[in-house]
Amino acid sequence: MVDISLARRTAWPARPDGLIAWAGRHRAVLLFSPVAVFLLTFCLFPVLFLFRVSLASNPGGTGYGEGHAFYVPGTWTLDNYVRFFRDDHFRQLAIFTVELGILTALATTFVSYALAYQIYRAGPRLKGILLMVAILPKFTNVLVLMYGFLVVFGAHGLLNRLLLATGAVREPVPMVYNLFSVVLGEIVLILPYSVLVIAAVLHAIDPALDDAARGLGAGPVRVFSEVTLPLSLPGVWVSVLLGFIWGVGAFVAPYLLGNAELYTLAVEVDRQTNWRLNWAMGAAIAFILMAIIVVLVLPFMQMQRDKAAEARG
């Protein structure tokens, strides 16, 4: 017995042994490195590059044939940022963007909670169907989804034709190219994630708590307000956060289902970069958008952390 184990140990070549030992000591670094390389290459580096561009002079004019295209390399200036805060157009845009973020966050969370609660309460078969419904929007392309809205809600869409045919209305009801369609579009985009988050939190609640509350005299409404809702708040906060970040960065829905008055900072970034060919201004707006999200979201997350710490005691 002893001989065999000795033989096996000495059979290992010395060098791979050393390599394995080295890998064992630096396991965390090794495991993290693929992600690190990916993030450095495709996130941090482009962001730094963009930041540099936002601090360059803008080329003026259309960008074509007037010396410099897109931005003026080698220049350093805060002009783009200064212009943003001086210009009413940009300021209005920023305010609307934040408003849309808040509206999206609240509307999405409300709708998602309702659906997640139905999933939580449903029997096993209905649960599967409802979960499928929740993630269905992710089965198709965003553009298809958005154009689907036009097919259903447009002036000549299914819904309006139905309303006209039944005589409920005389003229088509404007349901697209307004705030309603923009928020609805955003909800459909965010819903699969927020529903799954809230449903997961709801399912983690011990069913005995429900029984206990009922046994102590709580009817269905009190069980919800005293037990289910407070215990699912972590999921609600995640959904609000998700909805806000997504809504503030909204691009597709305002662009395809909104109008010029419902454009967001993200749409403006696209207009500056791709239409006006002013990369410097586009980059500056992108950074301001990022700053808005960070400034508004960080205190919120800190608040959640404090609350969690308090609950642990």
Q: Which residues bind other proteins (CB under 8 A)?
A: 206, 208-209, 211-219, 222, 226-227, 230-231, 311-313
Which of residues 9 and 125 has its CB atom nearest to other proteins in the complex? 125
Instruction: Give burial (CB, 10 Å; 0-12/13-18/19+) of 44.
Output: exposed
Which of residues 34 and 207 has its CB atom nearest to other proteins in the complex? 207
Which DSSP category does 136 fall into? G
Measure the CA–CA gap between 109 and 221, rounded to whole angstroms: 20
> Long-range pairs for 215-221 at CB < 8 Å and ≥24 separation?
none
Which token pair is 122?
A: 């449903």
Which of residues 208 and 260 has its CB atom nearest to other proteins in the complex? 208
Which of residues 14 and 221 has its CB atom nearest to other proteins in the complex? 221
H runs (alpha helix) in 136-258: 142-153, 158-166, 179-203, 207-215, 220-223, 229-248, 252-257
Query: What is the per-residue DSSP string for 222-255?
Result: HHIIIIIHHHHHHHHHHHHHHHHHHHHT--HHHH
Residue 230 Cβ vs other proteins, minimum distance, rounded to whole Å: 5
Which of residues 201 and 252 has its CB atom nearest to other proteins in the complex? 201
Which DSSP category does 41 fall into? I
Which of residues 35 and 208 has its CB atom nearest to other proteins in the complex? 208
Q: How far is the first Cα of the chain from the last one, in angstroms, to the nearest whole number? A: 54
Measure the CA–CA gap between 285 and 272, rounded to whole angstroms: 9
What torsion do the CA atoms of 26, 30, 32, 36 make, to the nearest 10 degrees? Answer: 120
Cα angle 288, 247, 302 (rounded to 5 degrees) comes to 70
Which of residues 65 and 215 has its CB atom nearest to other proteins in the complex? 215
